[in-house]
Amino acid sequence: MKIIQKLVISTFLVISISTLMINDIEAQSFDYEIIGYGIDGKREENIEIIDNKNDFEKKWKRKISPDKLTTPIDFNKECIIAISRGQCGSGGHGIRIKDVYEESGYLIIEIVYTDPGENCRVTQALTYPYLVMRLKNRGLDIILAVVYNSVLIL
């Protein structure tokens, strides 16, 4: 399992792509579980596939809430994907999963990077948003589709 491509697409394109995927009978939903997220992740934008206990315990275990790991991770059948957005200049930035599915032999992970709108009041501190997910390891190469989305709060 490796990341073969990262796509950056606009919200308009995501709507179009999502519509095509729904009509494509090859696309299959993929079960996943978010086991951690926060604003104190890695300093650089990064996507990591963690497929062994040692790497998980060294790099990410302290970021995972114990109540999220109700069953131990079986690294023979599962893997962890950690997505770090890198440094953001203020609060209000985040990451969320839009969809995870298998299509044409690839695992497609659609994520949304959210940014505060220009009228939003946010913390004036550096943040490092991250998200950690758990999913079955089927040995598929990954295509990560990133959508940037500003949130406007009046």
Residue 4 CA to chain centroid, in angstroms?
A: 15
- Asked whether the whole model's pTM tops 0.85, one would answer no
Q: Which of 83, 53, 85 is nearest to 69 (CA)?
A: 53
Q: Is 42 helix (H, G, I), strand (E, B) or coil?
A: coil
Write out the residue range of the structural domain in which residue 93 sits: 3-151
Query: Alpha-carbon distance 52 to 73, whole Å?
Result: 9
Q: What is the DSSP letter of 61?
A: G
Overall domain count for the chain: 1
Q: Is the dihedral of CA 51, 148, 85, 112 positive or negative?
A: negative
Tell me the sheet residues that pair with 122.
Answer: none
41-71, pLDDT tens digit by residue?
A: 889 998 888 989 999 888 888 887 777 777 8
pLDDT tens, residue by residue, 129-139: 999 999 988 78
